[in-house]
Amino acid sequence: MNLWIGQKSLEDEQISLVFFFHSSVSHRFIAKPCALGLKVQANGPQKAQPNAILEKVFTAITKHPDEKRLEGLSKQLDWDVRSIQRWFRQRRNQEKPSTLTKFCESMWRFTFYLYIFTYGVRFLKKTPWLWNTRQCWNGYPYQPLMPDLHYYYIVELSFYWSLMFSQFIDIKRKDFGIMFTHHILAVTLLSFSYVTNLIRVGTLMLCLHDASDIVLEAAKMANYCKCQKLSDLLFVTFAIVFIVSRLGIYPLWILNTTLFELYEALGNFPALWVFNVLLVILQILNCFWSYLIIKVAYKAVSKGKAGKWNPLHVTKDDRSDIESSSDEEETVPRSKTLHSTVTTNGTSGANGTNGYLTGGTCSEEH
């Protein structure tokens, strides 16, 4: 038995590496040409000019320097404070992925979710436990592992392993913590249910969760292509599918059978409680994401900004908003000598523009 589990674990790792390789290949040879054909912008954020001192502060100390540190850097470099703020803003934006990169990532995930959801529906509609969840526990734990079921489960598990690997190689994003937690939970839940042969209910859970992810990735791609109306429509569809499936069907269908029907059929055993704890944690994450989705939708409706709002930054893609400024195009820093010259004309720094720049800068910005 231990040898069999070891062989299956090795197989899982091999398939996950194949997924990771396939995602890299599809980005370069499939998704990228499609993105360029749809005129998705290939250029990333404007890069900050090289500066060893500021780079050292950025990488080793802080990415968001306070006022005291800004003043110290201003004296050290003979730059005005506003230019240093601009440099840090550009340097933070520089680490964010380009629109082309995000489109390729969404296209790869959309392709996978569409394929695996279609496969899952075709497989599950032939199984008795789709129509009667009590069949998930009939004959447990001596339930045969059918080839189609094994393939479905291993492919899903390998996909989440590939997401785990790619998170450490890709650019670190705002939602790294919560998405890493989600991937850890998904891998743990799938691995535990696979080892304890709680696979039948696991297939129901996988198919249910994949449904909304398809629409989300499609909405992201529409947004990156600047098809705003299509993106808004897809996001509304995603919100409805997400909330209905994860706040309605999931607790009434999945949690009901694991918390009550499983206990009635087999009684109390340790794996039951571990499995249910993991499922409840997953539901907590579902509630958190649903709250964010509803919050964004409410703000959009209440402010009447349909067509101008971007809800995708608040769901699974809260990672790519670029910090902006009215003077972002200005890359050459003004020296403090210009600042001193302006202030001698009778306008003090404190009474100018928040003590940063005065005179000439104000006229340019206006």
pLDDT at 44 over 50: yes
**Mean pLDDT in residue range 124-140:** 94
Mean per-residue pLDDT for 135-159?
92
67 pLDDT more than 70: yes
pLDDT category of residue 299 using cuts at 50, 70 and 90: confident
In a 10 Å sphere around its CB, with 0-12 CB exposed, 13-18 middle and 19+ buried, how is residue 262 labelled?
Answer: buried
> Cα–Cα distances in Å, from 8 out to 16, 192, 271?
12, 13, 20
pLDDT above 70 covers what percent of the chain?
68
3-state secondary structure of 353: strand
Cα–chain center distance at 186: 14
244, 271, 319 from 252: Cα distances, Å: 11, 21, 32
d(CA 179, CA 108): 17
The pLDDT confidence band at residue 303, using thresholds 50, 70 and 90, is low
Tell the residue number behind the tokens 């206990």, with chain if given.
263
Q: Highest-confidence range of 28-42, 161-175, 281-295, by mean pLDDT?
A: 281-295
For helices 81-94 and 67-77, the axis angle rounded to 10 degrees is 110
pLDDT per residue over 99-113, tens digit each? Answer: 778 888 888 899 999
Grade residue 197 by pLDDT with cuts at 50, 70 and 90: very high
Rg (CA), the chain: 26
Q: What is the pLDDT of residue 175?
A: 67
